[in-house]
Structure 1
Amino acid sequence: MLALFPLQLVVYPGERLALHIFEERYQQLVKDCETDEITFGVPTYIDKKLEYGTEVQLKKVEKRYKDGQSDIVCTGKRIFKIEDFYKQAPGKLYAGGNVTFLENNLNSDASLQEELLQHINELYYELQIEDPPQFKLPLTSYKVAHKIGLALSQEYHLLTLPKELDRLQYLVGHLKVTIPVVREMNRTKEVIQMNGHFKNFDPLDFEDFEL
């Protein structure tokens, strides 16, 4: 059985996750991670249900407070699907569940990575972000997923895709839709800002104009 810490967020394998622990049940979980070296799962709470999540491993307790609270750092490991959920694991305050770990097909495509990177740079340019995150090839879907404006439902959908090729294609598709919208928003903003200002128009040539 895997200990579970449901949250309204998506954690990906390899991701660093920083959490502030204040509830008594999760204080107990952190203690068990330290003493018994167990891992725990972070299933995404979405649409009022729990199904997919990511196993994480405690790496460091960054700070301990006198009242038992703590700041911890974890790392994402494997994606799982919940088969049975229990509000309390046997003899524990925190939740637990029987899970199936999913296979992760990491086969990728260099040209698709390059296309994704090109679209990411284009998005940051359109958003006029100062000092944007810098990505280099080779690129993975999990590394950039939180950095391109996905909604929680989209991040969650990405989590459920078992093949890296499918994840890369999904992200490219998202950016192909998002970038034109951002560009049009920028154009609209410019039009609004021009309203009430003196405008300098180029003269129109009507020599060849006919009614």
Structure 2
Amino acid sequence: MAAKTLHPDRPLFPLGTVLYPGGQLSLRIFERRYLDMVRECARTGGSFGVCLILQGQEAGAPALPAAVGTLARIVDFHNREDGLLGIQAEGGERFRVTRTRVRSDGLVRGDIELWPAESSQEVPVEFALLQSILERLIETMAPHWRNAPRHRYDDASWLGFRLAELLPLQTDEQQRLLEITDPVQRLAELRDILPRFQRA
């Protein structure tokens, strides 16, 4: 892996789910600390870090976030029918948190090391079944990916991240797949997990 890039003092949003590079995230924003975070990102064009919650809850007292997460860039805002702010964000680079602090309003901020994007690797022929499975999952669960170019399915990184977000995995499995830095190894782990769903 290439040298990591340091970024100090990024806002972090601990969530009960894992965001992958290229993934889509819809959030309902109602706590003051996160409204301020969204305002900051909109003003500066910056992003916030999404980390899986290891301890605690999404709302209320600050939660303990996982050390490895994904940057989220806000791509759309909308007012929801319930009167709350809705945002759509897209997953960017992965990062590791090196230090965290909690502001007086409860917002967790951290110093992070950005991970470089994974290099493009063609999907080995022994994982062709995973391409077919992803096509079926997208058809039923992720219509926003239906028009994805065919070459995306041939990219081991894209294929693995999309399967990891669509398969009904445990959150610790999702986090482990996020932290893998070899896209072919990620595909191998996903292939080994599949029999569990076929027996169901």
Same fold (TM over 0.5): yes
Q: What is the letter of the counterpart of residue 33 of structure 2? A: R
Distance 1:120 1:72, change over 3 A: closer
User: Aligned-pair distance for 1:65?
Assistant: 8.2
Distance 1:147 1:23 in 2: 28
Percent pairwise identity: 22
Distance 1:105 1:131 in 2: 28
Distance 1:112 1:148 in 2: 19
Q: Deviations over 1:32-85 (max 9, x none)?
A: 111111110011112564211110111111226897x41011110011111101
| TM-score (ref. length: structure 2) | 0.74
Distance 1:172 1:66, change over 3 A: closer
1:1-211 correspondence to structure 2 within 5 Å = 1-46=9-54, 49-50=64-65, 51-63=67-79, 69-88=84-103, 94-106=107-119, 107-118=121-132, 131=140, 137-138=153-154, 140-179=159-198, 181-182=199-200
How many residue pairs match? The answer is 172
Distance 1:43 1:146 in 2: 14
Gaps of 5+ in 2: 1-8, 57-63
Structure 1 runs, 4 residues or longer, greater than 6 Å off: 64-67
User: Aligned-pair distance for 1:112?
Assistant: 4.0
Distance 1:165 1:63, change over 3 A: same
User: Aligned-pair distance for 1:94?
Assistant: 2.2
Q: Deviations over 1:147-192 (max 9, x none)?
A: 222111111110110111111111111113432x22xxxxxxxxxx
Distance 1:120 1:5, change over 3 A: closer
User: Aligned-pair distance for 1:103?
Assistant: 3.0
Distance 1:65 1:37, change over 3 A: farther
| Structure with greater Cα Rg | 1
Q: Deviations over 1:118-167 (max 9, x none)?
A: 5568x97xxxxx95667963251111212222111111110110111111
More strand by share: 2
In the other structure, the counterpart of 2:60 is none
Q: SS at the partner of 1:146? A: helix
